[in-house]
Amino acid sequence: MDILQVEKLKKQYGKLVAVNEVSFTVKKGSVFGLLGPNGSGKTTMLCCIMGILNADSGQYSWLNGTDETEARKKIGALIETPNFYPYLSAEKNLEIVALIKQQGKDRIETVLKEVGLFERRKSSFKTFSLGMKQRLAIASALVTNPEILVLDEPTNGLDPQGINEIRQIILQQSKAGKTIILASHLLNEVEKVCTDVVILKKGNVLASGTVSSLLQQTNQIEIAANNNDALLLALQSIPNVISASFNKQQRITAELEKGFYAADLNAALFAKNISISHLQQVNTDLESEFLKLVNQ
């Protein structure tokens, strides 16, 4: 089932095109990442699909065309940090959120446990760390027990411990069956929690697909021989080798065309009288793929 379909959505401010005819589909149960540097259009995109901003053109639909008012009842969103009352406790602040959303208080204890704040439920908001404040903000989005969570930069400004805490909450909610749409510029976090991703730069889609498929797009190996200078010259003469250069370990990293594998390369080098002493597949991370796309 499609949770969200976006087709050629565009939003601009004067001459600045913030979102440029972006299209993607979010499947039920996925953790979908909108990934890009600051200014890439992630927040504008979220504001458009949440009805906070009106798109200039294009369209989107939630839950296979479900009425938008009804669909929003199934969405918990955190686009901006809620304005919590500093002198009220976490529990009291969530009671106010529940009242505004016309919900009972029955889920407050549950969501405080889910975000790891139950033991501090009586503490005033002003005593919370930045990470605890962010967890309470996520709790406010969970009060209605939504099917879908929309989170804009949920780990922004947090230290490693705070980032890990938010990551665990996202993974926990995903295991519970929720579909999560997450905007972030932190490549490492997107790689750890997301199943699918759209990479944006200046409002344009650079790449999209499952995280695993994006990481498989690069066919790289690390290779070495007794004479690496001769090896480099040989690699540069093989048509199926896209690029080859020395890395920090003073070995050579070579990118191969799709369908041309390490065994094929070994045979080609053997034909050139190059004996290999080291050959290993390089596991590409999302950061490497992202930087490659952005630089292109």
CA atoms in the 13 A half-sphere facing the CB of 22: 34
Residues 252-263: tens digit of each pLDDT: 888 888 778 788
Pick 165 or 190 by higher pLDDT.
Answer: 165
What is the C-alpha R_g of the chain? 24
The pLDDT value given to residue 187: 78
CB 237 within 8 A of CB 268: no
What percent of the chain has a predicted confidence (pLDDT) above 70? 94
Pick 287 or 99 by higher pLDDT.
Answer: 99
pTM (two decimals): 0.77
- Domain annotation for the chain: domains and CATH numbers: 2-211 (3.40.50.300), 220-295 (3.30.70.100)
Kindly provide the b/e burial profile for residues 154-177, where b requires at least 16 CB atoms within 10 angstroms of the residue's own CB: bbbebeeebbebbbebbeebbeee
Residue 35: both structure tokens together: 């990934």
